A and B are shown apart, each in its own frame.
Chain A
Amino acid sequence: MTQSEMEALRARCAPTAADGRFEPYKVSLRYDNPMTRMPHGFPFDHTQREVTEMLEKADGPWLVPETTPETSRR
């Protein structure tokens, strides 16, 4: 794309980009693999919709990693 084409595309996306609705990896847990969350000591609250969605989406069986994980929230 030329610079002007890129600018036009950015401008077209701007109205719907401003709340992150089309970038869920920035504004939700949807892309946070549970294996990312566990070592940081964050709990799994199964009453939270986002946590439920994250667990449904994750690669299973994610609780049995090949290498035993440490837990080290410093």
Chain B
Amino acid sequence: MNTTRRDFLKVGAGAVAATSAVSPKSNEGFFSIASGRSEAAPAGEAGNMIYRRFGRTDVHISAIGVGGHHLGDVATLDEAVQLVHEAVDAGITFFDNAWEYYNGKTETILGRALRDGRREKVFLMTKVCTHGRSGKLAMQMLEDSLRRYQTDHLDLWQIHGIVYDNDPELAYAKGGVLEAFDRAKKEGKVRFVGFTGHKDPAFHLKMLELGYPFDSVQMPLNPFDANFHSFEKQVLPEVNRRGMAALGMKSMGGTAWGVGAGVVQADEMLRYAMSPLSRPLFAAWTRWTCCTRTCASCEVFSR
């Protein structure tokens, strides 16, 4: 492993510099770990990280997070565990994942990395992958995720991939995944729930219109999105209006082909995704694993 924690903190410091403005709507904006106001903020150093309020809750999460899928891309378990440790030490509290990533491998990696006292320092998320199937299956997946994570609860459980036009209908169907959300919350196995998707803003809007009180909504947010079937223009305002936490993804456009084509620079994409001025509740999670290790020149983003 060639990248050091110092290297990562340089990236973190750059992000702070890029987003050092206070959100116009949120009085909280973001703050340093030293303020002690973040529920999941790690103790000690790592004062360069920024934190944002999770929707209307009192919880604050790091404005940059670790994408779980990429833990499966790391060559060895030891390296992946060390990468998570460095992230926690650097002040990152938001950890993404999904039940189906690498058939559960990445949840297992994260669980291994967070045991021994790190679990309580982070805001732990994973996604349920029923893809239109039953709430019963969702609860089975939840038990899988909890076992892999070596924890008794998730901080955030999101529906993975609202990408087909009938996904909202299936989610809201009797016996569907939303019933599992209610049950899991009631049993104390999850604190917050939400959904994700990258295909069409209309599907996201349908999920919202049908009325379930989601805590978070995850969507692509980048300067290309703003010009084409835009989640930023169509979905983000509605999410903010409802006081839900808006979580960004695809901050590099997924493939980073726009970076490779020379249209934009990687740091511009990241700064755009993290800019709070037009999205006060926005918290970006991005693949700092790539940013700091795989391809520092941002030439070969693979996803």
Contacts and interface: CB of A to CB of B under 8 A. Distances in A.
B192 interface: no
Interface string B243-257: 000000010011101
Interface residues of B, number: 53
Given A6-B223, A10-B226, A32 B170 contact: no
Question: Which of A2, A32, A36 neighbours the largest number of chain B CB atoms within 10 Å of its CB?
Answer: A36
Given A12-B264, A20-B229, A36 B131 contact: yes
Given A23-B220, A67-B144, A72-B133, A1 B227 contact: no
Interface string B58-86: 00000000000000100000000000000
A22 B255 CA distance: 7
Contacts of A23: 220, 222, 224-225, 228, 250, 253-254
- Grouping DSSP codes into helix (H, G, I), strand (E, B) and loop, the A interface class, with mixed when no group exceeds half, is loop
B199 A25 contact: yes
B198 interface: yes
Contacts of B160: 36
A18 B228 contact: yes
Interface in B147-201: 160-161, 163-164, 166, 169-170, 173, 198-200
Contacts of A26: 198-200, 220, 228-229
23 contacts: A1-B272, A2-B21, A6-B277, A9-B223, A9-B268, A17-B224, A19-B228, A22-B263, A25-B198, A25-B199, A26-B200, A26-B220, A26-B228, A30-B255, A32-B163, A36-B161, A38-B131, A59-B100, A67-B141, A72-B134, A72-B170, A74-B169, A74-B170
Interface of B: 18, 21, 72, 100-104, 129-134, 137, 140-141, 144, 160-161, 163-164, 166, 169-170, 173, 198-200, 220, 222-229, 250, 253-255, 257-258, 261, 263-264, 268, 271-272, 275, 277-278
